[in-house]
Amino acid sequence: MLLLEAGASHGGLFSDMPSGFARFMHSRKFNWLYRSHKEPQLTNPKGCYTPRGKMLGGSSGINAMIYTRGLSSDYNSWAAKGNVGWSYNDLLPYFIKSENNSRGASNYHGNSGPLTVSDVSPFYPVSKCFLEACSEFGLPPNPDFNGVHLEGHNSYQFTMKDGKRCSAYHAYLKPALKRNNLTVISGCLTERVAFSGIKATGVCYQQNGRRYIASARKEVILCAGAFNSPQILMRSGVGSASELAKFGIESVYDNPAVGKNLQEHVDVSIQCKNKMRDGLTLSPLGLIKLSVPFIQYILSSKGQLAHSLAEVGAFYRSSNEVKEPDIQAHLLPVMFNDSGYDWNPTLKHGFTCHVCLLRPESRGAVHLNPEDPMAKPQITYGFLSEKSDQKALLNGIRKALEILKQPALAKHNGGIMFPNPCLSDAELLEQIKSKTGLIYHPAGTCKMGPKNDTGAVVDPELKVIGVEKLRVIDASIMPTVISGNTNAPTIAIAEKGADLIKADALIH
């Protein structure tokens, strides 16, 4: 097996440090630093900042490490659309297989898998008070977001082991590096899949200014994520033939669905002043204060920096008309703008309640860069283009504002800085359109579906439709984004994908 990775390494100390992922928000070395085109229905002129991990382990090396699986109905809807073998009961064994959960084995959890999943008690006082406020609001505690039901509030579980991040690199790749049948080449950019007719025969890639071809005896597998997997397919001639012709790319298989169906959890950050001033700030004084926990972490892997910033959260329904939670909240003891790119708010004492819509109806797309197909892809999310999304998100924000008003947060809440809670729904909608963000959960651009589904890119065996010896195995295959953080489901997809590959290898 040959693994090609564009990044230079697995990210080092600051990737391993649970609070260290902020270091990668502006890193050209470890982050693709994507940004969507200006969204016509939003008033933010810059588009939406979109961080993506460029390292061994991908975005699991820079995420908030939250372990959630979503709803069983998410996966059952996949199966109902013709994806045989992808129901919740089909995938649950793969979640269990992957897990080494600190709670031990149960009907929902495993304790012998490579991916360590841990309970981490909240560090920041405002995080603890948020959970109390949820109870005061009437939202019940949920002992396990990955158990019987999703609705409720609690601390999240995290992909962490002994105070360090347990990314896909640490869980899966690092233990396999000693194998003789694995070669890893990092610091290289995949150009395209090579074809002989419709059969994938290898991969063309660049490294240090030179171009290479790696031949594949068995098959080629794309695991480049919701932006780069469709981008590579299109550069390889799999996509809309009329669009590819504009770039002089010869069509191997005409499939206009490649790159379409982009979904992401649209997010609004409710920013509050912190009267207690006991959160996290990146002001000069705040950075000086962090020197002590930094040394503590280096010596013991414990303390403040051994915690994710998104420690606690909640799942709730935007209205009584909704049967299952369609809103997720993340409480952070810090403020920022532009999905983490703008750090100016971190200089102030504050906290943020992120409110995101879990099952958006709006859809976006990924296209090749019109100036250079090898450059950053052209991304359009289509956020809030559907009225149903606008209504659900507004309702979710209203409920979050009520939670923040509860007595448990009175000593922390020094006033809402954004958005203005006194506005009408129409006014509030216009205000949030100026600072709409995302939760780093892109999915759907190589949609899985039966071969008679004109919107599908891969079949239920994750084989690219219309060609041979080529699969896509990552979050891009999700027909619909799941109702929660996407790292755990992506790993389950990979576990199942590995079994599909092995089953084919035994046959052939």
Annotated catalytic residue 307: no
Question: Residue 122, preceding bond cis, omega within 30 degrees?
Answer: no
Contact call for residues 142 and 156 (beta carbons, < 8 A): no
φ, ψ for residue 272 (rounded to 5)? -125, 145
Which are the contacts of 380, defined by CB distance < 8 A and separation ≥ 6? 36, 37, 39, 262, 364, 365, 367
- 21 sits in the region (left: phi over 0; alpha: psi -120 to 50; else beta) called alpha
Other residues' Cβ atoms within 10 Å of the Cβ of residue 33: 17
Contact call for residues 275 and 351 (beta carbons, < 8 A): no
Exposed/middle/buried for residue 470 (C-beta within 10 Å: 0-12, 13-18, 19+) = buried
Query: Which segments of 96-243 are extended strands (E)?
Result: 99-101, 115-119, 152-155, 157-158, 160-161, 164-165, 183-186, 189-196, 199-207, 210-215, 220-222, 238-239
DSSP letter at 371 equals S
274 alpha-carbon distance from chain centroid: 28
Query: Which candidate in 109, 265, 330, 441 is catalytic?
Result: 441
- How do strand 99-101 and strand 115-119 relate by DSSP bridges? parallel
Which residue, 462, 493, 455, is CA-closest to 74?
493
What amino acid positions are annotated as catalytic residues?
441
